[in-house]
Amino acid sequence: MVLSFTQAGIYCAAGDFHIDPWRPVDRALITHGHADHARPGHARYLCTDIAAPVLRHRLGKITLDTVRYGEDRTIGTARVSFHPAGHVPGSAQIRVEVGGQVWVVSGDYKVSADALSTPFEPVKCHSFITECTFGLPVFAWPDEDAIRAEINAWWAANAADGRASLLGAYSLGKAQRVLSLLDTGIGPILTHGAVENTNAVMRGQGINLPETVHVTPETDPKSHPGALVLAPPSALGSTWARRFGAHSTGFASGWMRLRGVRRRRAADRGFVLSDHADWAGLNDAIAETGAEKLYVTHGYTDIFARWLNECGYDAEVVPTEFTGETLDDGEAE
């Protein structure tokens, strides 16, 4: 096998490296910066040049090397390259070739394009390790323009009623994607520190984001009437949120496709926006790889693997410590 599944994570013996390991290892190849994939404690890290600033921001002083998308790197007797995953800026699928056999580790991926991430590119391979966070037919994402219109109409209506709009979105990836959808003519955009810190990193590497105001203890909400406030989901309903007085709450997530989830999140509005592939996207991406063998991780794994086998694939579930997009804050976005 080109790759094996160990207690530390996905391992390549030919190159003596791990991919997104969850235990400390000597050499870690990282698909992207979310905390269930990029963990502290490794001796050496390798990621894309676009993902590197976020990794440094989140992990501190680490020994980090970078590659560009499509650039070949030989490690031991393994040939390695990173390819766009479309999940968040800099996210990658990792292609590993040993002795003519090609395996691809998807990391987290999204097949529909957005304004921030390098669009997903299918990679031909013999074996494909795929996520299936949203591996049920009920998960079908609406067109991004429709979500853009929904969010901005909600914000505009709240502003007209004299209320702030508090929108929950994970601090890396989702929050910046929401920013890319906003009509800045409606009002000011305020951000929680966790979101603004990531914004600063991305702006520093040339990613274009609209102007935002960092909420600090000195911020007077009354001086920003009709604002949209972008914050991690955990901030909704907190003491931090109550400073904004009368407000409406929203939550941006693929989980908003399920009935009852918005109610359990105590949000007034739910917006179906995910940085993962939906059911159709998963199936399309898998077909495009041409893979003979599929390994299914994190999500509706049993159901999705059974479906793939019924479709004629050779698929099996592989337990990992990846979590995909969760209903909790976490960093597993």
Please count the other Cβ atoms lying within 10 Å of the Cβ belonging to residue 310.
Answer: 9
User: pLDDT over 90 for what percent of the chain?
Assistant: 90
Single-letter code of the amino acid located at 289: T
Dihedrals φ, ψ of 283, to 5°? -65, -40
Q: What is the C-alpha separation between 28 and 42, in angstroms, rounded?
A: 7
Measured CA angle at 173 (ends 325, 3), to 5 deg: 60
pLDDT for 326 equals: 73
Domain boundaries, the chain: 4-138+276-317, 144-271
Summarize the confidence of residues 291-295 as an average pLDDT: 97
> Mean pLDDT, to the nearest integer, of 196-223?
96
28-41: average pLDDT: 97
Strand boundaries in the chain, DSSP class E: 4-5, 10-12, 17-19, 27-29, 44-48, 64-67, 73-75, 78-84, 92-98, 101-105, 127-132, 164-168, 189-191, 213-214, 228-231, 247-252, 269-271, 293-299, 314-317
pLDDT value of residue 331: 45
Give the model confidence (pLDDT) of 132-179 as tens digits.
999 999 999 999 999 999 999 999 999 999 999 999 999 999 999 999
DSSP assignment string, 185-230? TS--EEE-HHHHHHHHHHHHTT------EE--TT--GGGSTT-EEE
pLDDT score, position 267 = 83
**Contact (CB, 8 A) for 147 and 174:** no
The confidence band for 332, taking pLDDT boundaries of 50, 70 and 90, is very low
Mean pLDDT (whole number) for 12-27: 98
Distance of alpha carbon 219 from alpha carbon 197, whole angstroms: 17
The two structure tokens encoding residue 54? 């976020």
3-state secondary structure of 107: coil
- Fold held by 4-138+276-317: Metallo-beta-lactamase; Chain A (3.60.15)
Residue type, 52: A
Q: What average pLDDT does the structure give for the chain?
A: 95
pLDDT digits (tens, 9 = 90+) for 240-288: 999 999 999 999 999 999 977 766 666 899 999 999 999 999 999 999 9
Find the mean pLDDT for residues 191-197. 97
Separation of alpha carbons 257 and 284, rounded Å: 20
- For the beta carbon of residue 326, count every other beta carbon within 10 angstroms: 16
**Which residues, at least 6 apart from 327, have a Cβ–Cβ distance to it below 8 Å?**
233, 253, 255, 261, 264, 265
CA distance linking residue 193 with residue 214, whole number of Å = 6
Task: Tell me the HSE value of 217 on the side-chain side, using a 13 A CA sphere.
Answer: 0
* Tokens at 315, concatenated: 């698929």
- At 184, which amino acid appears? T
Q: Which residue has the tokens 């995953």?
A: 85
State the average pLDDT over residues 303-320.
97
Q: Are 255 and 115 in contact (CB under 8 A)?
A: no
CATH superfamily of domain region 144-271: Metallo-hydrolase/oxidoreductase (3.40.50.10710)
